[in-house]
Amino acid sequence: MKSQNESFRATETERLLAETPEGEAAHAPCPVNLKTGKWRLAVDVAVAPPNPPRIRRREEAQVSVTPPSTLNSPSSNQSVVTSAAASKGDNSHSAIESLLHAVERVPSGGRGRSAQFMPIRFVFSNTLNRDDRLLLAFDAYVLSAALRREIAVGKIIHGDDHAALKVKTSLLTGEVRRRLEKIAALLSSPAPPDLVLNRHCAECEFQTRCRQKALERDDVSLLAGMSEKERHKLRSKGIFSVTQLSYTFRPRRRPKRFRDKREKYHHSLKALAIREKKVHIVGSPELKIEGTPVYLDVEGLPDRDFY
């Protein structure tokens, strides 16, 4: 996925540069001259505000945060850098920067009006998710801090048809700030974050390392579908491994009024099945098949709506 995004970004960058009149495009312009530039399109724009906005650090925010769970794990085309102080009492600013895929400059409509800037992000997939919008909002947040003016709208170019979607980044600024607070708290904490496997691991360069450590520890996060609240509850009881959890399962007789309802999912039963290497069935499932069942095996690319 990462290589596809990088390839798509390179292709779209070339396409936009080819469509821009000669002399109105810039490559990696100097951040200091962003306001005074005469270009209409700039690509590979590195932005680092000289006086970044203050990121509030609360005592209750000094909890372990898994980096991939914040914004997405930073890659070569997106920089999220914070220089948070190690001490909780330090109120120094956190330095943030971003490498914007592209920035469109819209000239002012009249005398006395400032030019408008719109960050552009390239995404390979046809279907966008919230993380794509949050990354664009982060670009707008950093660009706004560098230019000292509001950046309310950004653009995502994505998919096979080069679809362009405008996003109101101003509506996501609050969430971007909250995510940055978590990152700052993570970096300022002297203790390393708890090892937790989650759905973002596939995008992280440390996936193999973390999974190997989780296997060595027999960590409960190896059980998919367990929420953070459930993990904290188990750890408060001194249960940290899958093996420990497996000994907590106790089959109970269900009251008659609940027998027609579906049994809740037990992580402890799954842990027991793993330890004993057995398949456990909850309840007495009954298969009532009437007529002739027909099974269809459909293959396709859901991201492209192609089956």
> Cβ of 94: how many Cβ atoms within 10 Å?
20
Q: 241 with 133, same domain?
A: no
* 96/82 Cα distance (integer angstroms): 5
Q: What is the pLDDT of residues 163-172, one digit of tens each?
A: 999 999 999 9
- DSSP H or E segment with residue 17: helix 2-19
Q: 78 with 223, same domain?
A: no
* 303/13 Cα distance (integer angstroms): 22
Q: Is residue 151 part of a domain?
A: yes
Nearest to 101 by CA among 119, 117, 116, 118: 119
Q: What is the pLDDT of residues 174-190, one digit of tens each?
A: 999 999 999 888 888 89
* 271/265 Cα distance (integer angstroms): 12
Q: 153 with 83, same domain?
A: yes
**Total structural domains within the chain:** 2
Angle, alpha carbons 80-50-116 (nearest 5°) = 85
Bridge partners (DSSP) listed for residue 45: 100
Q: Is residue 210 part of a domain?
A: no
Pair 180, 94: CB distance under 8 Å: yes
Q: 62 with 103, same domain?
A: yes
Structure tokens at 12: 């779209």
* 194/219 Cα distance (integer angstroms): 11
Q: 152 with 239, same domain?
A: no
Mean pLDDT in runs of 10 for the chain (307 residues)?
A: 87 96 92 85 91 50 36 46 41 71 86 86 93 96 93 95 95 95 88 85 87 94 90 93 94 77 87 93 80 88 74
Mark 184-212 as b/e (b = at least 16 C-beta within 10 Å).
bbbbbbeeeeeebbeebbeebeeeeebbe
- Say which CATH number the domain at 29 has: 3.90.320
Q: Is residue 207 part of a domain?
A: no
Q: The domain containing residue 239 runs over which residues?
A: 218-307
